Structure 1
Amino acid sequence: MKTKIICLSMLLFLGCSSTKLVSTWKNPDIVLFDAYKVLVVGMTQDENVRTVFETRLAEKLSEKGVEAMRSMDLFDVEFTLSEKSEKQLSEVEGQLLDKGFDAILFTKVVGTENRRTFRERMNKLNDMYTSFSVDYLEHQDIYYNSEYYETFNIYTVETSLYCICVDKERELIWRSDIDVIEPVKMEKTIEAYIKLIANKMGEQDVIF
């Protein structure tokens, strides 16, 4: 039985008002990739985030007829507390093959960009100020309002789908890069992210 291992390594301590697909890549040698059993792994130090993410992703896979398992149900606590070698990971893959898994979907935050923006009102960008006093009074909070220049982060999150195949290295099947903008609520970020990658994988005949 084919297996999908979704190793979703995310620092999804995020919550977001926006998720934007930056790019996707699909192995040109793979036309259609079916997987029937998936291990969902959320790589983050925040146990609550990991639980929510892995649970929701596993549920999404189940909704589409794919058997899924959370990494937290497979790996013991000590597994994630220390660095692992290539040999140890190969041993893990062998165990996964024995358990019927055939793929890994691995997600992680690969970069963070800090940006600043003006808290200007868009509907006043074209206003003409006829006197110094009006202009000054309208914008004087530039001096003392710390929120006039707002700082926000863009997190680039990468999801990679690897095949766990007999006699093969961990072969990359599919990858996406998504920008998560303006973190707000963890649950909303996770829901938006999962929906986006699920839809895109479906469009490209990957897993679904």
Structure 2
Amino acid sequence: MKTLFYYVALCTILLLQSCSSSELVENWKNPDIDVFVAEKVLVLAMTNDVKNRKMFEKRLVDQLKDKGVNAVNSDDFFNPEFTSRPRTEGELDDLEREMLAEGFDAILVSKIVGAEDKVTLVQSYRNWDRTFNGFEDDYYSSQGLYIEDEKMEKYTVYHAESALYCICPTKEREVIWKGSIDVTEPDSDRKAIKDYINMLVWALEEQDLLIITPEL
């Protein structure tokens, strides 16, 4: 039965890729979690491109809300100066406590990285095997993305990674899911973002994370 499931999942991915420029190239789900539903999830994109970050977060929040998920974009939670400088681990501890107080129990982080060719793209996979224990660890290690040089803005191949974290103060490991998606030769930034989000939402829904499809 499991073999059949993976075969069907593979066929579905191939079908999606035939009509989209996006490709799910890495996918990991915490084996201890079968279904995860969040009361309130923060959607956070980490990139120095403010315009595309806002576009990405808004589109993803809108799609999650359409699926019945209580999602909030980062601009509605962070103050305008939060990303203006690197934050300390202590400050991120305070942020997580503030998120808990505001009713958040999950955060969906997307790190958008561009690459000109496959050689550069391979380099971005070096940190894939690194395990982050939670949102704080991931955010702290990735803050440089907010201040990357402008030369990272325009590419024909986009690589981005997303991770879903539970804000669970009683658990040592908060990682629920992480995935890596490539978007190849998009016609525009808007098209790249659209294709990436479509694949991201599909991957979450297929694995019963955030989006739960009622059984017929």
Fold equivalence (TM over 0.5): yes
> Is residue 162–residue 170 contact of structure 1 (8 Å, CA) maintained in 2?
no
What secondary structure is seen at the aligned counterpart in 2 of 1:178? strand
2: CA distance between counterparts of 1:30 and 1:115? 33
**SS in structure 1 at match of 2:46:** coil
> Is 1:36 the equivalent of 2:39?
yes
- Give distance in 1, aligned partners of 2:159 and 2:59: 20
Which structure: greater strand fraction? 1
Q: Name which of 64, 68, 82 aligns with 2:71.
A: 68
- After superposition, the CA RMSD in angstroms is 2.0
- Give 1:166 shift: 2.7
- Stretches of structure 1 that go unaligned for 5 or more consecutive residues are 1-16, 117-151
Q: Could you tell me which residue of structure 1 aligns to residue 30 of structure 2?
A: 27
The residue number in structure 2 matching 1:104 is 107
Question: Higher relative contact order at CA 8 Å, sep ≥6: structure 1 or structure 2?
Answer: 1
| Preserved CA contact (<8 Å) 1:164 1:170 | no
1:78 lines up with 2:81 in the alignment:
yes
| 1:75-115 alpha-carbon deviations (Å, 9 max, x no partner) | 12211011111111111010000111011111113563515
Corresponding residue for residue 88 of structure 1 = 91
| Count of aligned positions | 157
Q: Structure 1, residues 127-153: CA drift from partner, whole Å, max 9, x if none?
A: xxxxxxxxxxxxxxxxxxxxxxxxx74
- Pairing partner for 2:167 from 159, 164, 181: 164
The match for 1:187 is: 190
In structure 2, relative to structure 1, the CA distance for the partners of 1:86 and 1:115 (3 Å cut) is closer
What secondary structure, in the 3-state scheme, does the structure 2 residue paired with 1:33 have?
A: coil
Q: TM-score, normalised by structure 1?
A: 0.70
SS at match of 1:87: helix
Amino acid at match of 1:203: E
Instruction: Give the TM-score, by structure 2 length.
Output: 0.67
Give aligned-pair identity as a percent: 47
Shift of the 170–97 alpha-carbon distance from structure 1 to 2, 3 Å rule, reads farther
User: Which of the pair has more CA radius of gyration?
Assistant: 1
Taking the aligned partners of 2:156 and 2:167, their CA distance within structure 1 comes to: 34
Q: Could you report, residue by residue, the CA deviation over 1:60-79 in whole angstroms, capped at 9, with x for unpaired residues?
A: 11101111111011112211
Alpha-carbon shift at residue 154 of structure 1 (Å):
2.9
> In the aligned structure 2, how far is the partner of 1:69 from the partner of 1:170?
23
Selected match of 1:199 from 193, 199, 202 = 202
Work out whether residues 61 and 68 of structure 1, in 8 Å CA contact, stay in contact via their aligned partners in 2.
yes
Are the counterparts in 1 of residues 165 and 174 from structure 2 also a CA contact under 8 Å?
A: yes
